[in-house]
């Protein structure tokens, strides 16, 4: 199906189908959480546990996790745009094991607006 034509109804229906819950009330928030958890599980198995290879991921998830675009025309020719989650550590994904700042410091920085 064309991703531009997917609506909440389609997402809820697919979640109900995968969970075999047709005939039950299922809110769009529950279906969103289901798919977020499902994609998060794929990411965890692929990036953290290394139990999934790149070839094991569907093309869409491979692009979502480690996508990059190389420009072939125009002024940006040859430049690489890294748009996968693994390239946006401080934006969409954060590895808390690498966190070195104390919580108290972060709270004071937020309170002071710095």
| Rounded-to-integer distance, Cα 92 and Cα 84, Å | 10
The model's pTM is 0.68
Tell me the two tokens of residue 110. Answer: 């937020």
Element (H, E) at 40: helix 28-43
Q: Does residue 113 lie within any of the structural domains?
A: yes
Contact 40, 65 (CB under 8 A): no
Whether residues 15 and 44 fall in one domain: yes
- Domain of residue 12 covers 1-52
pLDDT in tens, 70-113: 999 999 899 988 888 888 776 655 555 666 666 677 677 778 87
What is the total count of domains within the chain?
A: 2
* Cβ atoms of 41 and 65 closer than 8 Å: no
19-58 pLDDT per residue, tens: 999 999 888 999 999 999 999 999 999 988 999 999 999 9
**% pLDDT > 70, the chain:** 85
- Specify whether 29 is located in the same domain as 72: no
């Amino acid at each position: 199906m064309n991703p531009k034509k997917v609506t909440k109804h389609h997402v809820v229906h697919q979640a109900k189908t995968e969970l075999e819950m047709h005939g039950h009330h299922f809110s769009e928030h529950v279906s969103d959480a289901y798919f977020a958890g499902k994609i998060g599980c794929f990411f965890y198995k692929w990036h953290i546990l290394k139990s999934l290879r790149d070839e094991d991921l569907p093309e869409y998830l491979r692009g979502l996790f480690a996508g990059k675009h190389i420009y072939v025309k125009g002024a940006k020719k040859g430049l690489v745009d890294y748009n996968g989650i693994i390239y946006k550590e401080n934006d969409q994904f954060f590895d808390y094991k690498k966190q070195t700042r104390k919580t108290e410091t972060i709270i004071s920085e937020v309170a002071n607006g710095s």
